[in-house]
Structure 1
Amino acid sequence: MVNIQKLTKREQINYLLTNRIPRRWLTFFVGWLSQIENPLLTKFLIWGWSLFAEDLRLQDAKKQHFSSLGDCFTRELKDGLRPITADPDIVTSPCDAIVGAFGQVRGTEVFQAKGFPYEISELIPNLHINHKYRNGVFITLRLKSSMYHRFHAPVDCNVSKVSYISGDTWNVNPVALKRVEKLFCKNERAVIELKTGHPTNSITLVPVAAILVASMKFKFLSQILDLKYKGPNDIACDAQFKKGDEMGYFQHGSTIILFATNNYSFCEGIETGKAIKMGQALLSGHSDLSTL
């Protein structure tokens, strides 16, 4: 765990406010508050949120009036704002995000930040899934609270199961990632294997929830996966997606970690700290991904 005395004053405030408070109860409270449908309260909450999120672009939203803060968090975008790279050999970004750690998996070791490794099996307990990414590639995509919160299929695929893993609600901002070991492995998350129809191409998404509204809603599941969920960990489904189809959304900013087999390489322009849009080219493969 971090030595708080070694942080700058600003980092100390950020760290203390987001990681030394009762995260679970604050998350429940904000989740409750964000669902209240009251016009004046909604305007006030969005105004307060905009003070801390200078890059909030509500003019891109499909609608301009929101019934609640949660309605604003999960807003849809106007049509055409996120063109999808059509090449079937290209894996696109599933979401708007800031690129975090990315690169090759070293055996079974992944990095959340420089000097902070974790084992794939600690994040994805399922051996059938995690062994596919030995020496594969990974990328961490952080959704800021101001960003578009919905995530989409990065390839044509089908999904037969979602595995839910209950956990904590640590903040996933860069300050915490550099100081809390194995943070992603501690947080609430889901594991979604995308079946491309090709025997050597495998891609898995791991949406990771975080503090405040720690909730994931998948369009193809009736359940909302949040801190109150008490159902089975493995949820069977039968969902088909074309590249760019919406899969679900976070009810607040968080992170998606994407894993792919070692026959993929990163496209030009992928850099740590750089913003990326949903639908933008992320990985390039060498096989036909359209054989579903």
Structure 2
Amino acid sequence: MKITKTKKTWGVILLLLAIIAILAFYPLPEQAPIHYYDRESGELKTEKVAAEKWLVWLYNNPVGEATLWTLVKRKFVSSIYGDMMDRPSSTKKIQPFIEEFDIDMNVFEKQEYHSFNDFFTRKIKNKARPIDTTATSTVSPADGKILAYADISNSDFIVKGYRFDILSFLNNAELAKKYSDGSLVIIRLAPADYHRYHFPLSGSVSSNTKIEGDYYSVNPLALRKMTEIFCLNKREYTTVTNPVFGEVIMAEVGATMVGSMVQTYSGDFVKKGDEKGYFKFGGSTVVLLFEKNKISIDDDLLSNTLKGYETSVKEGERIGISMITP
């Protein structure tokens, strides 16, 4: 009798494992390519996605989604992977990565690295990213792809199909009210991008505020399934006070496999283009929030966003001008 029960138990276990195995290899839905406008050429291009099959599996397969919820979104998984990218053995990944994503290494200071994270957080050469120094302009804080919204109080305001919730994002009711009818700029950094971020304008700067959260991917392939990711992931923000732009919130959002966000700035005053910090391994996002009637975002960024496309930008490029004359 006992043997029969044991056989039945093992039979059930094997059946469940078989079902899981079948689901794990269930055909994945075809994904539409990620298109964006190249700001320099004006061309509509297709983004090459790092670990695309893995991302599609995580966000579109039942077993993948279970793995995402139980493991991948957790801090310890990103921390473990981040530690792996700090090891000398990770250097073997560098050259294939450079070749796969056609990274121009001539603009970076170092050419030899001690780990993949050392490469990933590489510094750029002086003048490789010219900064628009006009006092009435604000610039992109990072290399990446931009979505821009002039008025987030607009009833039609959405980010990739999701109504961006300022209160959830900032976790501060007073600040949320202050920026509820302001402007929003989102700069998404892909893994192949330069991963240091810089202040978009000059001014006095506050201390850094941290909000704990998860570590979902911020890639559009993930956002198609979970558009509220920006308000769920770990994030940090700082306020920069400028004579013509007022109080601008600059926030960094973590993502899957981002080992950490490291703030490198010091003091209580910064200049436009000064380094603020860097992301360790993984793509991530920088978010800028402006008060109402403070910024006139460049037309091409608004137009492309309205059409549903991101626009590629470089750190230091102008993205808008002040609506207030100094």
Equivalent-residue separation in structure 2 for 1:196 and 1:286 (angstroms): 13
Give unpaired runs (5+ residues) of structure 1: 222-237
Q: How far 1:26 sits from its partner (Å)?
A: 3.3
Does 1:33 find its partner at 2:84? yes
Q: How far 1:203 sits from its partner (Å)?
A: 1.1
Higher relative contact order (CA 8 A, sep 6+): 1
Q: Choose which of 147, 172, 185 in structure 2 pairs with 1:139.
A: 185
Q: How far 1:161 sits from its partner (Å)?
A: 1.9
Equivalent-residue separation in structure 1 for 2:259 and 2:232 (angstroms): 13
Does 1:250 find its partner at 2:279? yes
1:34–1:12 Cα change, 3 Å? closer
Equivalent-residue separation in structure 1 for 2:91 and 2:101 (angstroms): 16
Task: Tell me if the contact between 1:154 and 1:244 (Cα under 8 Å) persists in the aligned partners.
Answer: yes
Partner of 2:129: 82
Does 1:217 find its partner at 2:217? no
Does 1:260 find its partner at 2:282? no
Structure (1 or 2) with the larger CA radius of gyration: 2
Q: How far 1:216 sits from its partner (Å)?
A: 0.7
Does 1:241 find its partner at 2:270? yes
Q: How far 1:49 sits from its partner (Å)?
A: 3.0
Q: How far 1:47 sits from its partner (Å)?
A: 3.0
TM-score calculated relative to the size of structure 1: 0.81
Partner of 1:276: 313
Equivalent-residue separation in structure 2 for 1:9 and 1:127 (angstroms): 37
1:174–1:211 Cα change, 3 Å? same
Does 1:63 find its partner at 2:110? yes
Matched to 1:285, the amino acid is: S
Does 1:8 find its partner at 2:49? no
**Relative to total residues, which structure has the larger helix share, 1 or 2?**
2
Partner of 1:231: none
Give unpaired runs (5+ residues) of structure 2: 1-25, 33-51, 60-64
Equivalent-residue separation in structure 2 for 1:9 and 1:245 (angstroms): 38
- The count of aligned residue pairs is 264
Partner of 1:47: 95
Q: Choose which of 169, 174, 180 in structure 1 pairs with 2:215.
A: 169
Matched residue SS, 1:118: coil
**Relative to total residues, which structure has the larger strand share, 1 or 2?**
1
TM-score calculated relative to the size of structure 2: 0.73
Equivalent-residue separation in structure 2 for 1:101 and 1:15 (angstroms): 26
Matched to 1:180, the amino acid is: M
Matched to 2:94, the amino acid is: I
Matched to 1:65, the amino acid is: E
- The two structures, once aligned, show a CA RMSD in angstroms of 2.6
1:107–1:162 Cα change, 3 Å? farther
Q: Deviations over 1:35-61 (max 9, x none)?
A: 11x2xx24312134346x513232321
Q: How far 1:89 sits from its partner (Å)?
A: 0.9
Matched residue SS, 1:47: helix
Does 1:189 find its partner at 2:235? yes
Matched residue SS, 1:255: strand
